[in-house]
Each structure stands twice: as structure tokens, then as C-alpha cells.
Amino acid sequence: MKIEKYALLDTDFISKTHFIHGDIEKCLVDLVVEMPGYCFFCHSQIIKELSRHNQQAIGWLQHKISEQKIQCYTDEEILNELVKIRGDFACSTYTLMLKDACDAFSKSYFKEHYQTLENFDVVTSTKQDYLETLQKADDEIGKHNSLGEIKSYVLLQLLSLLKGEQVYVFCSDDKAARNGAISFNNVRCISALSAFLRLKKEISWTFDAAEPYINSYVQFCGEHNQQTFRVMEASVVARMQRVPCKQALEEIFQDRFVELQNGFLKYRDA
């Protein structure tokens, strides 16, 4: 029996890969979520954050959720799953998961923003009381504070708990965000760049089929003043080198790279 792969989509990945188009109507993220054998998930916070990154991607994501191509979890739904597993300890478990998610970014983040949950009385309060306290803390955090990534990392932990399998995180090209993701056990990151290699493996994607997407990605990078990708050298010592965007994308289809757990590509040994 084929084992399903569980995958999490974050804001940056959806936004960026929604901009990358081929000759046909499908964008790159369409090809990703259509890969056979994968179950895709996201946190509802992602929908809010896409409004600041890529308005068109919101409609795309909502459509995929309505088609059940992507399963979207709210905090309440996460808590409901934890109630099934942890019973009366569900709220305490969510708090611990949230703290671990915050610690992946900064050891001070949880204390700065979620101290009210640390002090929350789970004995005399209800689940709804907890959710209202959580929502108030989220609202006070506001924009541009990695909230989408943090909520995604809470969902990541739930998926690991429920499924007991490796979780693939399709995530930001930001090194710190990817390092945060792989700080959790049994996680593999896939960036927009390494998604090309993943598609090559999973759907036998050829260079001819991928070329329009390569050109679109190179154009996207140019519009954002990015001329190179950082990839790892084929050496024992972990050293990065900058490679022109188009060269790196073309070399994926020349079998020059292997995927690393953190989403970086590394040149194969000569």
C-alpha cells in the first residue's frame, strides 16, 4: 500500500509559486498540489496573510480548500483534534506546541506575546475561554510578526502527532524560517527552487515541460532584484555558492543537484 506524504504549505511558498506560470493556465503551485500521493494542509492564518502578499492567491487557495485539495485548519479545529487525543489536557498541549513553535523563531517570542496563555487556568476555564484568550493575543501581535509561520508550526506538530509520518513543509526561501521548520523532528523543507527538483522526481517533469515555468521564475526573480540562488557546493565542508538563477534551474534538469533536508540544493559529487 502506498504511504501518503503529508505536506504543509506556508504563505511565502503559495504567494511566490502562484506568480510562476507556464504556457498553460496552471501556475507552479497548481502542479505542486496535484502531485500524486501528497495530502496538503495549511493554517487559516495563511489566508489572512496572503491578503498582504498576493490577493489573487487568496481566491486560488479558497478554491483548493473548497475542492478539498488542501485541508485548512483553524485553531479551534486543532484544539478539537487535541481534545480527542489529550482530553482535558488539550489546552495545555496547544500551549506547549505554541511555545515550541515560537521558540523555533525566538526564545523570547512566546513570553513577549503569549504570557496570558502561560498563566491560563485550564481547570476552571472552558475551551472557548482559551480560544478567546488566544485570539486576543494573536490580535495584539498584529502584522509582520511571523504569525503565519508560527501557526503553521503548531499545525506541523499536530500532523506529526496524528500521522506519525514525515511532514514536508513547502516554505519560504528564508533560511531562518527553514531552519525553524527543521528544528522539529521528522520534517523536510521544500523551497520554491527545490520544488522544481521535487516535481521532476514525482511527476517525471521534463525540461521541455518545465521551461516556461523556469522562464517565469527567472523573470519573477529579476523583477525582485534577485540574480542568483544560493546552493551548496559538492564538498565535505558546508559551503554555499551563488549561481545565476536560470543556470541553477536548468541544472536541476541536468541531474546536477540533490535535495537537502533544509530545502537547499547541493551539487552532486563530480
Model-level pTM?
0.92
**Cβ density class 191-206: b for 16+ within 10 Å, e for less:** bbbbbbbbbbebeebe
Confidence of residue 1 (pLDDT cuts 50, 70, 90): very low
Model confidence pLDDT, tens digit, residues 96-133: 999 999 998 888 999 999 999 988 998 888 999 999 99
pLDDT value at residue 173: 74
* Cβ(158)–Cβ(48) below 8 Å: no
Least Cα distance to 145 among 105, 118, 175 occurs for 105
Comparison of pLDDT for 24 and 245, the residue scoring more? 245
Residue count of the chain: 270
Q: State percent of the chain over pLDDT 70.
A: 94
Comparison of pLDDT for 264 and 180, the residue scoring more? 264
| Domain-wise residue ranges, the chain | 1-190, 205-267
pLDDT value at residue 176: 63
Average pLDDT, the chain: 92
pLDDT value at residue 29: 97
Segment 8-28 shows an average pLDDT of 92
